[in-house]
A = this chain, B = another copy of it.
Amino acid sequence: MFKRIFNKKLKNQLHEIIYEADTPAGKLFDVALLILILASIVLVMLESVNAIDAKYHNQLLLAEWIVTILFTLEYIARIISLRKPVNYIFSFYGIIDFLATIPLYISYFFAGSQVLLALRAFRLLRVFRILKLVRFIGEASQLKEALRSSRAKITVFVYTVLILAVIMGTIMYLVEGDRSGFNSIPRSIYWTIVTLTTVGYGDIAPQTALGQAIASLIMIIGYGIIAVPTGIVTAEFAMQGRKKKEIHMNTQSCPSCGVDGHRDDAKHCFDCGTILNDHH
C-alpha cells in the first residue's frame, strides 16, 4: 500500500512536470524538450546535406540515436503519468509524439530512410504544444480570430484567383505555344500563379510580344489584387481593435418583449422599458 501511495505521488509529480509549466521543474522540462526538438530538426537538416552526411555520418547517427532514446523515455513518461493514457495515445499530439519517436527503430529493421526522414521533420509540430504551455499564444489566437472572421471573404478571393489563373493560363498557352516553357496548360497555369502572386521565378517567361503584353496585364491585375486580402485582414484587425473599446453590447434578450442587442450595462429594455435581469 505504501508503494501505491508513493507511486501515486510520483505519478502526480511527473504529471505536473510533463504537462504543466507552472513549477520550475515543469518549465525546465519544457525548455529542455524544446531544445531537444530543435536539435533533432537540425540533425535531420544536416543529414540531408550530402557533403556533411558523408563526413560526419557516424556522429549524426549517434546523435539521432540519443534523440530517439530521449524521445522514447519522454513518450513512456507521458503514458505512465496519466491515469487514462488511452485518450492521450490516440489524441493529435499523442500520435505526433509516437511518429516522432519510431522512425529510427523502423529504419533499423527496414531500409528506405527517405520517407522516414519526412516523419522526423514533423517533429517540429511538437513545438506548438510547448509554446502553448508557455502561454505564448495569446496574440496568435487574436490573429486566428481575425483570419477566421474574414474566412468567407478569403475563400471567395482564392477562388477568384484560381479561376483567373486557369483562364489566363490557357490564354498564355495558346499565345506562347511551345516556346519558352508554356508547353502544357497546367504548366501555363503554374506560371500564371507564379506571376499573379508576384513571385516571378523566371524559369518560364513569355518571349512573344503579345505574350509579354498579356503578362504585363496579369502582373498589374496581380498587383491590384494583392490589395484585396490585405484590405480584408486589415479591416478585420482594425475592427477587433475597436470592438475591445466598444464591448457595450451583449446578446441577452428582454424577458418581456424578447428584443436583444442591449448595452452591457443596460438596466431597462430600450424597447419596452422592462427592467432587465442582471446577467453577470
Q: Chain A residues in contact with chain B, CB under 8 A? A: 41, 44-45, 48-50, 114-115, 117-118, 121-122, 124-125, 127-128, 131, 136-140, 142-143, 146-147, 152-161, 163, 166-167, 170-171, 173-174, 183-190, 193-203, 205, 209, 212-213, 215-216, 219-220, 222-224, 226-241, 248, 251, 253-255, 258-263, 265-275
Per DSSP, are chain A's interface residues mostly helix, strand or loop, or mixed? helix
- Contact assessment for B233 and A166 in the assembled complex, using a CB-CB cutoff below 8 Å: no
Q: Which residues of the other chain, B, contact A121 by a CB distance below 8 angstroms? A: 166-167, 170, 185
Q: Which residues of the other chain, B, contact A237 by a CB distance below 8 angstroms? A: 231-232, 234-235
Q: Which residues of the other chain, B, contact A186 by a CB distance below 8 angstroms? A: 45, 48-49, 209, 212
The 3 lowest CB-CB distance pairs between A and B, nearest first, are A201-B202, A199-B200, A266-B270
Question: Quick one: closest B residue to A163, CB to CB?
Answer: B124
14 A/B residue pairs, CB under 8 Å, sorted by A: A48-B188, A114-B174, A139-B153, A147-B228, A194-B219, A196-B223, A197-B219, A197-B223, A200-B200, A227-B229, A227-B233, A230-B234, A251-B261, A267-B273
Other contacts beyond A189-B216, A270-B270: 6, CB < 8 A: A48-B184, A193-B219, A193-B220, A201-B201, A227-B233, A234-B237
Q: Which residues of the other chain, B, contact A241 by a CB distance below 8 angstroms? A: 235, 238-239
Most chain B CB inside 10 Å of its own CB: which residue of A154, A239, A254: A239
Complex CA–CA separation, A230 to B237 (angstroms): 10
- Contact assessment for A260 and B260 in the assembled complex, using a CB-CB cutoff below 8 Å: yes
Complex CA–CA separation, A19 to B107 (angstroms): 58
Q: Which residues of the other chain, B, contact A137 by a CB distance below 8 angstroms? A: 156
Q: Which residues of the other chain, B, contact A275 by a CB distance below 8 angstroms? A: 273
Known A-B contacts A48-B173, A198-B197; the reply to A233 vs B231 at CB < 8 A is yes
Q: Which residues of the other chain, B, contact A272 by a CB distance below 8 angstroms? A: 267-268
- Contact assessment for B268 and A185 in the assembled complex, using a CB-CB cutoff below 8 Å: no
Complex CA–CA separation, A268 to B209 (angstroms): 65
A244 to chain B: closest CB distance in Å? Answer: 10
A268 to chain B: closest CB distance in Å? Answer: 4
Question: Quick one: closest B residue to A213, CB to CB?
Answer: B190
Question: Quick one: closest B residue to A248, CB to CB?
Answer: B261
- Contact assessment for B253 and A262 in the assembled complex, using a CB-CB cutoff below 8 Å: no
- Contact assessment for A199 and B193 in the assembled complex, using a CB-CB cutoff below 8 Å: no
Task: Kindly identify which residue among B167, B190, B269 contacts A212, using a CB–CB cutoff of 8 Å.
Answer: B190
A197 to chain B: closest CB distance in Å? Answer: 4
A168 to chain B: closest CB distance in Å? Answer: 10
Complex CA–CA separation, A115 to B185 (angstroms): 13
Complex CA–CA separation, A117 to B253 (angstroms): 59
Question: Quick one: closest B residue to A222, CB to CB?
Answer: B197
